[in-house]
Amino acid sequence: MTDFLTFRTVDEMRTQVATWRADGLTIGLVPTMGGLHSGHQKLVTRAAKKCDRVIATIFVNPTQFGAGEDLDSYPRTEKADCEIIADAGGNAAFVPNVSEMYPDGFATTVKVSGLTDMLCGATRPGHFDGVTQVVSKLLNQAGADMAFFGEKDWQQLAVIRRMARDLDIPTKIMGVPTVRDDFGLALSSRNGYLDAAQIEVARQFNVILRKTAYDIASGGLATDECAKAGQAILDAGFERIDYVECRDAHYLELIDRVEDQECRIFAAAYLGRARLIDNHSVS
């Protein structure tokens, strides 16, 4: 941790990035909201493999939380987060406060249409507008060569890729495969809201989705198989389903019969205080 840097302001980060650039070094950015786990660690490790210097950002972005969501209780564990970043090969953390990111009079929105209307966008209105607002700022602030995002939030990754392309943001957007526990449960900061019995239930989620992906790839109609999966998720002990859908992996259009296109099954469901999401390739 001795050489690990913490930037609180955009100016501090930019000054250091300029020094690294002057030395001919490449920069990787790992945007996070903190509460880091092995999934984030893998993002930093991947970034450190691809880039000479890695900055992880820690900012619980208020504009991507809806009313009644977990903004106040979202884990804030900066010291432990910085240790994880450093151990994974990261060089610095950018930890701005809300007024650094959204100064008085802030009035700009960034919206990707279409891709944000379905899946998580349908039940979390405005969520992706908050994500694109903060991620566009972070990409502009850091001026990194590459930025790394987890594939667990596949829709978020698709939205960010589209935004970066549409706005000619030169940072290359990199997807990193989901990290899972030994039972296949996708790691998430929100898994911390679950007790031991709920974790057992949560572990059924990926098992059901993988079976559903297999059944669709074997010729089952996606609408039928997704309906069966929804029932199986409820039977496993989840309280409510948000969606279980099969969609094109890039354009996120609904698919009923899978032919040559690259598809994924996407699901979100509620268990206790947590809303879990996951996705799997249908192939």
Structure tokens at 82: 């910085």
Q: What's the min distance (Å) between Cβ of 281 and ligand PAF?
A: 20
Q: What's the min distance (Å) between Cβ of 252 and ligand PAF?
A: 17
Which residue, 130 or 230, is less far from ligand PAF as judged by CB?
Answer: 130
Which residue, 146 or 246, is less far from ligand PAF as judged by CB?
Answer: 146
Cα 182 to its chain centre, rounded Å, is: 21
Cβ(273)–Cβ(202) under 8 Å?
Answer: no
> Which stretches of the chain bind ligand PAF, using CB under 6 A?
31-33, 61, 64, 131, 134-135, 153, 156
40 catalytic, yes or no?
yes
Q: What's the min distance (Å) between Cβ of 239 and ligand PAF?
A: 24
Structure tokens at 74: 């979202």
Q: For residue 270, what are the β-bridge partners?
A: 240, 275
> What are the Cα distances from residue 187, in Å, to 77, 124, 155, 178, 179?
17, 21, 17, 8, 6
Q: What's the min distance (Å) between Cβ of 54 and ligand PAF?
A: 15
Q: What's the min distance (Å) between Cβ of 220 and ligand PAF?
A: 31
Structure tokens at 78: 């900066």
Which residue, 61 or 141, is less far from ligand PAF as judged by CB?
Answer: 61
Catalytic position from the list 37, 40, 250, 280: 40
In which residue are the tokens 């609904």 written? 254
Residue 178 per-residue DSSP state = P
Which residue, 134 or 226, is less far from ligand PAF as judged by CB?
Answer: 134
Structure tokens at 124: 């979390």
- Other CB atoms closer than 10 Å to residue 74's CB: what's the count? 16
Cβ(146)–Cβ(172) under 8 Å?
Answer: yes
Q: For residue 176, what are the β-bridge partners?
A: 150
Which residue, 36 or 255, is less far from ligand PAF as judged by CB?
Answer: 36
In which residue are the tokens 């099969």 written? 246
Q: What are the start-end ranges of the H helices in the chain?
A: 10-22, 38-50, 78-87, 98-101, 120-123, 127-142, 154-166, 196-217, 222-236
Catalytic residues: 40
